[in-house]
Amino acid sequence: MYQEGYNKLFKGLIVVLIDIRLNNFNICPDILGYIIIVSALGILENQHSAYGKAKSFAIALIFFSIPDIYQANNILDGIGVSNYNILFMIISTIAGIMELVLIYYISEGIINIAKDRGLNELAEKADERWEGILVIEAIILISTPFYLNINIDIFAIYLLGIGIIAFIMHILFISLTKDIGKVLG
C-alpha cells in the first residue's frame, strides 16, 4: 500500500523537476507534479504525520505553480527589470521556500520511519540529502535578489553552475524516494 504512495511521490517529484518549454509554455507543468505529490502524501500520511504536514505545503504549491505554466519571457533574457519579472521573482521565492519546507517534511517522515525500523544508514542518507538540498536552495534563494544589481552575463554563468548542482541534489533526493518505497513501503 505505502509502496504505491512512494512511487507516486517519486513520479510527482520528477514532474516538478522537469521544466520543458515550448513557445513559453511549460509542457510538463509543476502543477501536475504537485497534484501527484498531494495524492502520494494522502496515502503516506497514515504512515507518518510528517507526510500530512508535507501535504499541506504541496496543496499550496499547486496554486503557486500556476504562473509557471506560461512565462512571457525569461528573467535572464536581458530585456530588463519589469514589474512582471519582480512579481515572478517574489512568487518564485515564496514557492521555493514552500518547496523547501515540503522536502523537509518528506525527509522528516523518511528519517523517522527509517529510525523506527532500525534502518539508521537509510535515515542518515535521507538526512544528508535533505541537508544538501537545504544548503544549495538557501544559496539560490539568497542570491536571487542580487540579479537586479549584477552583470547579467556573470549571473547567468553563476546560475548555470549552481543550477547543475541543485539538479544533481534533487535527483539524489528523488532517487532516494524511489529506493525507500522498496524498503519502507
Between CA 167 and CA 25 the distance in angstroms is 21
Residue 83: pLDDT above 70? no
Which helix (H) or strand (E) is 99 found in, with range? helix 83-116
**More confident position, 150 or 35:** 35
Residue 26: pLDDT above 90? no
Q: Give me the pLDDT at residue 74, please.
A: 52
Residue 82: pLDDT above 60? no
Which helix (H) or strand (E) is 131 found in, with range? helix 120-143
Q: Is 100 exposed, middle or buried (0-12, 13-18, 19+ CB in 10 A)?
A: middle
Residue 14 near residue 33, CB atoms below 8 Å: yes
Residue 73: pLDDT above 90? no
Residue 58 near residue 41, CB atoms below 8 Å: yes
Q: pTM above the 0.95 mark?
A: no
